[in-house]
Every structure is written in C-alpha cells, then in structure tokens.
Amino acid sequence: MRKKAKKKSQFQHAQRRACQRYGLTVGPRKYEELCKKIQQQDCVFLEKQSNRVTMFAVQMEEQWLPVIYDKDRHSIVTFLPKQALDPYLDKLDEKAGKPS
C-alpha cells in the first residue's frame, strides 16, 4: 500500500508543478502518456541522479519539458523549471534533427 500512496503523491506533485511552471493541465491520461514516452525511450536522457531517479526531457504540446522520473514506481516525480534544460540544449537540438 505504501508504494501506491507514494506513486499517487508523486502524480499529484507533478500535476501541481506542470500547472505552476508551464500552465499545463496534466490529467491521469496525459500523465500516463508522458510516463509511457519515457518507458519507450521517446524522450531525451539528460542525467542520472541516483539508482532510482533520472532526469529526462519529454515533448508535450510542441515543447520540451524537463522531468524527474522514478524508475521503481514508473512515474514522473516532478516537472522542473525550463532553465533546467539550458545545459542540454545541444541534446534537444540533436533529437529534433537540428544542426548544432
């Protein structure tokens, strides 16, 4: 039961941060779509932060969003501020097929 409670609180936290930082409404369906993108590697790996937590960039509504993903719970923990992408712009350009 504890794992489910943690996953639910991560979902609620991620929803609040998506709204606060990007003005986006991320309902359960959209949240699962974004998690699935990460699971299917339809995203850009940015950095591993621990054995459990990794930073990725996922695309939503034509923009890259930096997220923290929990691999044990298969869930997005939070949406980071846009500035978190600054050190990784070359990776995003590469994924989009743009020359550096």
> So where are the chain's domains?
2-96
Reported confidence tier of residue 6, pLDDT bands at 50, 70, 90: confident
Helix (H) or strand (E) holding 1: none
The whole-model pTM stands at: 0.89
Which candidate, 48, 51, 83, places its Cα nearest to that of 68?
48
Does 96 have pLDDT greater than 80?
no
Tell me what the mean pLDDT of segment 69-73 comes to. 95
pLDDT of residue 99: 52
Find the mean pLDDT for residues 39-51: 96
Strand ranges across the sheet with 75-79: 44-48, 53-60, 63-70, 75-79
Asked if residue 43 has pLDDT above 60, the reply is yes
Mean confidence (pLDDT) of the chain: 92
For strands 53-60 and 75-79, give the pairing. Answer: unpaired
When computed from its CA atoms, the radius of gyration of the chain, rounded to whole angstroms, is 13
